[in-house]
Amino acid sequence: MQPATLCYPIRGDEILLIRKKRGLGEGKLVGPGGKVEDGETPREAAVREVREEVRVSVENPTKVGEFEFVFGEQSEMFVHVFRAEEFSGTPRETEEADPGWFDVDEMPYDEMWEDDRLWMPSLLSGETFSGWFRFDEDGDEMVEEELETGVEF
């Protein structure tokens, strides 16, 4: 199972999301992130991925969640989720991502993965969570989910 990261820069009442331009979730709004490379911690991967995808440098990201993505019967990835309130730089579009700031009270859930509406409120409040989400083989529909809040990392 592939370890991966998501890292959400947050400033006041806004969250940085990207419109994914390629790969799993292409076209959806997600947080910057990607695969953890060999020899890298999830936190290091989160910092690197945000820098690569939107040219923003995050500092001291806080791990707030983790979940497993399953497609059909295939466990696809294990995702470490971070939030970052300390960062520098202006988000810029890259080959992978088109970034934008979104009001947390008007989250565009209809343009995001179906599971995001379940755990995103925890991320926004700083509450920790752990989950497991099964989608159909095409990844179009969530068919089973489990979410626990208040977990320790």
pLDDT per residue, tens digit, the chain (153 aa), is: 889 999 999 999 999 999 999 988 899 999 999 999 999 999 999 999 999 999 999 999 999 999 999 999 888 899 999 999 999 999 999 999 999 999 999 999 999 999 999 999 999 999 999 999 999 988 889 999 999 999 998
Q: How many residues would you count in the chain?
A: 153
pLDDT of 3 reads: 96
Q: Looking at the domain that runs over 2-149, which CATH code has it been given?
A: 3.90.79.10
How is residue 80 annotated by DSSP?
Answer: E
pLDDT (0 to 100) of residue 67? 96
Nearest by Cα to 87 from 57, 61, 60, 48: 57
- CA-CA distance, 85 to 2, in Å (whole number)? 27
Q: What is this structure's pTM?
A: 0.95
What six digits make up the tokens of 98? 């088109």
Tokens (6 digits) for 149: 């809040």
d(CA 112, CA 114): 6
pLDDT of residue 23: 86
